[in-house]
């Protein structure tokens, strides 16, 4: 029951300048999308980037070499690993899979810190 309520649409209202609205409308039109769909997708993509950017770790040269070695030799597949790899991100829903046809910046760029 709680999950069904979480999937019900809610209204999000924002104020924008006419120029901003026109820019958004022009971009949405080029993609054949509504203003709402365009804005929601852009906002969600940015939210994902912010959440993903919250993870940072620093290593000395020796530890970084060991980390790279582990990445180059991934573990053997196990049932637990398969379940983990199939798990959805907390912000992902079943309908997101159908809507997401173009990879986001977060999934196509590498972050080096």
pLDDT-derived band at 110, boundaries 50, 70, 90: very low
> How many independent structural domains does the chain possess?
1
In a domain, 44, yes or no: yes
Question: What distances in angstroms separate CA 14 from CA 28, 37, 51, 96, 99, one per listed residue?
Answer: 17, 14, 22, 23, 23
pTM given for the model: 0.47
Q: What is the structure's pLDDT at 93?
A: 67
Instruction: Give yes or no for residue 3 having a pLDDT over 80.
Output: no
Q: What is the DSSP string of 68-87?
A: HHHHHSPPPP-HHHHHHHHP
In a domain, 42, yes or no: yes
In a domain, 71, yes or no: yes
In a domain, 65, yes or no: yes
Residue pair 27/41 in contact by the 8 Å Cβ criterion: no
In a domain, 113, yes or no: no
Question: Cα(first)–Cα(last) distance of the chain, in Å?
Answer: 42
Provide the residue range defining the domain that includes 79: 2-108
Of 96 and 37, more confident: 37
Instruction: Give yes or no for residue 102 having a pLDDT over 70.
Output: no
Which tens digits make up the pLDDT trace of 22-70? 999 999 999 999 999 999 999 999 998 888 888 777 889 999 999 999 9
Kindly report the number of other CB atoms within 10 A of residue 92's CB atom.
13
Instruction: Give yes or no for residue 113 having a pLDDT over 60.
Output: no
């Amino acid at each position: 029951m709680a999950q069904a309520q979480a999937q019900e649409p809610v209204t999000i209202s924002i104020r924008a300048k006419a120029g901003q609205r026109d820019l958004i409308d022009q971009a949405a039109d080029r993609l054949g999308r509504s203003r709402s769909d365009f804005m929601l997708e852009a906002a969600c993509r940015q939210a994902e980037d912010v959440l993903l950017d919250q993870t940072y770790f620093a290593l000395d040269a020796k530890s970084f070499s060991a980390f790279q070695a582990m990445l180059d030799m991934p573990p053997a597949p196990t049932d637990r690993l398969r379940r983990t790899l199939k798990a959805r991100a907390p912000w992902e829903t079943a309908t997101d899979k159908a809507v997401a046809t173009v990879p986001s910046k977060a999934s196509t760029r590498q972050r080096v810190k």
